[in-house]
Amino acid sequence: MSENDRGSEPALTHVREDGAVHMVDVSAKQATVRTARASAVVVTTPETVALVATGDLPKGEALATARIAGILAAKQTPQLIPLCHPLPLSAVEVSFALTPEEGRIGIETFVKTTAPTGVEMEALTAASVAALTVFDMIKAVDATAVIEGIRVVEKRGGKSDIGGGA
């Protein structure tokens, strides 16, 4: 299907004319500084968020564990997502915002590189694995916790920026 067959929608870059998926060749693109932020939320009980805040969970300190898991996940993205390019990551940050009264653990990740392609997938992978790690750490006290809202919050560098302020 060509661009004209679908109206104004852009062509899928990971699909060849014959319909086969492939890794996009980014060798002609300029290496620029590229950043991405992603987020996720773990919804649990106020009591569980309080345990996370104090580090008193049966499995131990959830936030430090989830931070390390998120950083490691960002670095492993090309091994997990088949068509992602291996990128030299220059920064990976994982932060948390606890809202005990709402039973919410917010997770935000930031990833930075200088490369010919962006780091949205690395930021999303970091947020997802950090959320999964929080879930694993709290499931003994709240087996009904839910992970929601995994999304790209901001992308900078390359030909299209999304999210954030100017």
| Residue 29 CB coordination number (10 Å) | 13
Catalytic residue flag (residue 136): yes
Virtual torsion, Cα 139, 141, 147, 152, nearest 10 deg: -100
C-alpha 144, offset from chain centre? 23
Backbone dihedral angles phi then psi of residue 164, each to the nearest 5 degrees: 65, 180
Find the catalytic residue in 5, 56, 136, 142. Answer: 136
DSSP 26-42: -TTSPPEEEEEEEEEEE
The residue to which tokens 């959320």 are assigned: 131
Identify residue 4 by its one-letter amino acid code. N
Tokens of 35: 């950043």
By 3-state DSSP, what share of the chain in percent is helix, strand and coil, each rounded to 5? 30, 30, 35
Active site residues: 136
